[in-house]
Structure 1
């Protein structure tokens, strides 16, 4: 950014001087020399120096056998996430990634239906997700924070509504968070009964209650900041509306509408899901 400002100011200064110079102030030979140096030699030296200085940062990040691996699968229109810690059982999640600061993490990028593209501008480059193929991307977060990601390949009606967050956490906090993901969600109460009675468990996993994999994993939904793959803030009202009218909220979503579900029952299911943190 600073370099662009310097170049713009320099060009503007040259234009100012050139417009106010008298005729014959510079000879043809002097003009050609200026073009050679300002248009050829200086840019070549500057670009060569920039290339040499950035080459080390362009080397692939090496991963070790005990580094964390996360499989991310693009679906229409959400993200299937599976954490694979070395020597431990895998942990499934959806629509949000968490990574430890200061550690290398290998992302295994796949597509479950059509072409998608994984892109987190603040953390890593863009990489396509192709059905039947696994592409690998290594990320290394240097600071804690939340990084916005987006599908960068047109994949259907709700392509623009297919986003996600990558949350970089301090290593100790991440380890504690990952361990907590192994605990089952609370499964009792009216919310669980309505969830099962309306067939929600036929598509969605809630650990300890259902293990379907057609739709997003809803275990610990209450800990996520957004709904519908980053398309809206997770609020009670938004969750109730999504439960009842998913195709209206997210065009092309495979989840059917539930107009027969009363507002009270939808609110009960929503409260039950929100309690799962």
Structure 2
């Protein structure tokens, strides 16, 4: 299917480096249309250059009235007819390619698949892994771990305005609308981290609403899932204990959940396993202790308009809080 793929191209967040069957079908159709239009453009440009070169000595001469003959009329009719036939054939080629790609994508919808629920917020992604046992339901944010080679159904909706879920290496985009549920099928056949983005303008921080799809072998994915289903670990040192009390006594507890503690709000991301994520603020910053401290104190200076308010605390309180958050792996 990837007949037109550029060898050696390894870009992330691009449809030119497909890592699953859905993206391969889309890239095939894109490449088919692209190369047909490029070839037609080059032929027209070459014909124009040849004509200009042949007529270059008469460009400054007043043109004479066009005189036609039966022979010239016949050649002109044949040329126009041939151009029409070629145009129709090329259009039908693109049409058939589009039909084949659409049919292949449609067949994916009939597959049994592993379902992941994704909810778009201004401006972050909430991710649920449903489980028949509610206490084992995994809730995370901005990182979607998936098993390689397994059909996936991303069941999505929006909690506020229209968002669009788009991981171009994996599949085409799908709009998420408040009040409506939508499904998109996908599959990732290569290990790695594939960046995605909200592709529908959704407000001031639309450009800073990204996510990562992390594809890993099935056994590794199951280990990650089991680790994420566990509650947070209990504090193991006086500083970490103090940090937990800072979290529970400040505004943090009003917006976030940490399973295994009294914190159970759903306004912001679930932080039960915050330290296991590679980024914070929906991909804006690497998840380092320094970035996390700056985000806690004044997220508005990093991502203006987000719902994370400034938090006023002493330096000692911040250090204790960070020590606690670092244990949430």
Same fold (TM over 0.5): yes
> Which moved further from structure 2: 219-228 or 267-276?
267-276
Equivalent of 1:243, from 296, 314, 323? 296
Q: CA deviation at 1:163?
A: 1.4
* CA deviations over 1:219-263 (Å, ceiling 9, x no partner): 2111211111112222222111100002222222222211x3123
Match of 1:270 in 2: 322
* Aligned partners of 2:148 and 2:191 also within 8 Å: yes
Match of 2:218 in 1: 171
* Aligned partners of 2:137 and 2:229 also within 8 Å: no
Match of 2:23 in 1: none
* Aligned partners of 2:275 and 2:325 also within 8 Å: yes
* CA deviations over 1:21-44 (Å, ceiling 9, x no partner): 4699x9454344334333524423
Matched ranges for 1:116-155 at <5 A = 116-155=163-202
Q: Is 1:94 matched with 2:141?
A: yes
Aligned residues: 273
Q: Distance in 2 between matches of 1:228 and 1:98?
A: 18
CA gap of 1:51–1:226, structure 2 versus 1, over 3 A, is: same
CA gap of 1:224–1:28, structure 2 versus 1, over 3 A, is: farther
Q: Is 1:79 matched with 2:112?
A: no
* Aligned partners of 1:68 and 1:84 also within 8 Å: no
Match of 2:18 in 1: none
Q: Is 1:180 matched with 2:227?
A: yes
Match of 1:15 in 2: 48
Task: Report which of the two has the higher share of helix.
Answer: 2
* Aligned partners of 1:68 and 1:85 also within 8 Å: no
- Structure 1: state its 5+ residue gaps: none
Q: Is 1:30 matched with 2:75?
A: yes
Q: Distance in 1 between matches of 2:50 and 2:72?
A: 15
CA gap of 1:245–1:187, structure 2 versus 1, over 3 A, is: farther
Q: Distance in 2 between matches of 1:192 and 1:207?
A: 12
CA gap of 1:191–1:30, structure 2 versus 1, over 3 A, is: farther
CA gap of 1:55–1:115, structure 2 versus 1, over 3 A, is: closer
Equivalent of 2:91, from 20, 25, 44? 44
* Aligned partners of 1:63 and 1:105 also within 8 Å: no
**SS of corresponding position for 2:229:** coil
Computing the radius of gyration from Cα coordinates, the structure with the larger value is 2
Q: CA deviation at 1:192?
A: 1.6
CA gap of 1:32–1:171, structure 2 versus 1, over 3 A, is: farther
CA gap of 1:236–1:37, structure 2 versus 1, over 3 A, is: farther
**SS of corresponding position for 2:304:** coil
Q: CA deviation at 1:5?
A: 4.8
Give the TM-score, by structure 1 length: 0.86
* Aligned partners of 1:96 and 1:166 also within 8 Å: yes
CA gap of 1:18–1:86, structure 2 versus 1, over 3 A, is: farther
Runs of 4+ in 1 over 6 A off after TM superposition: none
Q: CA deviation at 1:55?
A: 4.1
**SS of corresponding position for 1:205:** coil
CA gap of 1:80–1:49, structure 2 versus 1, over 3 A, is: closer
Q: Distance in 2 between matches of 1:15 and 1:27?
A: 19
CA gap of 1:13–1:42, structure 2 versus 1, over 3 A, is: farther
* CA deviations over 1:25-75 (Å, ceiling 9, x no partner): x945434433433352442343244235424323142243xx322111112
